[in-house]
């Protein structure tokens, strides 16, 4: 099994949220990201600080959403990975 690097984990978390209609509760997100609670918390706090995700409150329910900046991260990450694969680096 290959370990994921930090950038890949961030992309995975953002993609999970986006693929769940851009709104997901924290517990399913932890489970789907395949990280321990403490590791997830560290990444999640960084995503909040950097403005890649926001917490929303709708009818008393908390959910996580990907921001426009987070959407751009996913796109740029995919471009970089595509470039690396294209040149077999």
pLDDT in tens, 31-88: 999 999 999 999 999 999 999 999 988 777 888 999 999 999 999 999 999 999 999 8
Domain assignment present for residue 12? The answer is: yes
* Rounded distance between C-alpha atoms, residue 44 and residue 51, angstroms: 11
Tell me the residue ranges of DSSP E strands in 1-89: 53-58, 61-66
Decide if 76 is inside a domain.
yes
Domains in the chain, number: 1
Beta bridge partners of 64: 24, 55
What's the pLDDT score for residue 23? 74
Q: Is residue 50 part of a domain?
A: yes
Residue 1 falls within a domain, yes or no? no
Q: Residue 34 is part of which domain span?
A: 6-86
CA distance 63 to 67: 13
């Amino acid at each position: 099994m290959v370990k994921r690097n930090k950038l890949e984990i961030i992309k995975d978390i953002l993609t999970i949220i986006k693929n769940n209609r851009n709104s997901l509760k924290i517990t399913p997100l932890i489970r789907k990201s395949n990280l321990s609670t403490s590791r997830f918390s560290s990444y999640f706090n960084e995503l909040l600080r950097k403005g890649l995700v926001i917490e929303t409150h709708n009818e008393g329910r908390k959910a996580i959403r990907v921001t426009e900046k987070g959407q751009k991260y996913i796109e740029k990450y995919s471009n970089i990975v595509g470039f690396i694969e294209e040149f077999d680096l």
